[in-house]
Amino acid sequence: MPTFDPRSTALILIDLQDGIVAGDKGPHSADAVVAAGKTLAARFREAGAPVVLVHVGVTPETMPSLNVDQPRLPAEGTPPAFSALVDGLRQDGDLVVLKHHWGAFTGTDLDLLLRRRGVKTVVIAGIATNFGVESTARVAWELSYDVVVVEDASTSRSAELHDFAVREILPQIARVVKLEAVTLS
């Protein structure tokens, strides 16, 4: 795996927030993913590369359609505590993006924030692999970013959901790597 240029690479951490880290996860625990996210963020900050912390929250006004077979969002929206980033994640200088959908680009200024900083490569990790991480990776790829997904810094509601995304979807739009492979210089 190549070394990433901190002048043109950004880290995007997806949904490492109180309302999402709770509950069963697989194949990696939420604690392990949060720890890996903090490790990645420290590497990027040390190299002077952008760190983007994405969290989700919805109100009745920003709610995606609930006219689906298996709605998971409460019609009244999410409480403010749901969207709070996990303790110790955010540092001065980090970019914070509030999204209202699975992916981090739809309805946000993330693309503008990255392009203004000369970003060409995005390294993505977080929860859930097959929801927020995959949706963000898909749109990043469609926007012509080089996409890297850190497998062991991501997880889902089950090992099966995570593994399907990592094995079948993400390799077609991204490079899938382990935490140890992500270096900047």
Residue 29 main-chain phi, psi, to 5 deg: -70, 155
Q: What is the pLDDT of residue 72?
A: 86
Tell me how far apart the alpha carbons of residues 48 and 133 are, in angstroms, rounded to a whole number: 23
- Locate 23 and state its tokens: 């509950």
Q: What is the pLDDT of residue 73?
A: 86
Domain ranges of the chain: 9-67+75-181
Tell me how far apart the alpha carbons of residues 69 and 85 are, in angstroms, rounded to a whole number: 29
The Cβ of residue 154 has, within 10 Å, a number of other Cβ atoms equal to 31
Characterise 86 by phi-psi region: left (phi > 0), alpha (psi -120 to 50), beta (else): beta
Q: What is the pLDDT of residue 1?
A: 64
- Locate 118 and state its tokens: 């000369």
Ranges of H-type helices in the chain:
18-21, 30-47, 110-116, 134-142, 159-164
Tell me how far apart the alpha carbons of residues 63 and 99 are, in angstroms, rounded to a whole number: 11
CB 98 within 8 A of CB 17: no
**Class of domain 9-67+75-181 as given by CATH:** alpha beta
Task: Report the chain (185 residues): mean pLDDT per 10 consecutive residues.
Answer: 92 98 94 98 98 96 92 90 97 98 97 98 98 98 98 98 98 98 96
